[in-house]
Structure 1
């Protein structure tokens, strides 16, 4: 074997070793996340996750209670009022702001 072949084989071995170790490391991280390794940063919410279908027909998963709501339409404001979540609204459009008495 000449010097170039030895260098090529060594380079391939290093690349393979790096790939294997990297995959093992990432696999370990994913397992920790799935098992809830970071419990100090997570809370369990009863009844969650919830999956809803939005007005565009897309499924959206909500993992914890909604704390901040921005409503862009009067229909949305009416829905939020009906659900009793008016205190969670942090933003509305100018039109709703003018007629806010009607919704809130």
Structure 2
């Protein structure tokens, strides 16, 4: 029983270190002075990725096919104090992709 407790205690400490590393406790703004372009980033996984990149110090350019989705997501992340901007981009249209990268 004591051996199981020791194993579990070691696992718990290791998990705490992983959680700390993933929460940015150990690293401070590793993406400072970087720009991240994230497509399909106004909801779900894309929005979560955008949030995390911004939390790590990047300026994030989010995009979606609909202006109202872009506006909503930008407002939400800016309310959290994150550095974000947004642009409409349909990745199936070459001119939209070009405008996204140029921006």
RCO (CA 8 Å, sep 6+): is it higher in 1 or 2? Answer: 2
Larger-gyration structure (1/2): 1
The TM-score normalised by the length of structure 2 is 0.37
The TM-score normalised by the length of structure 1 is 0.37
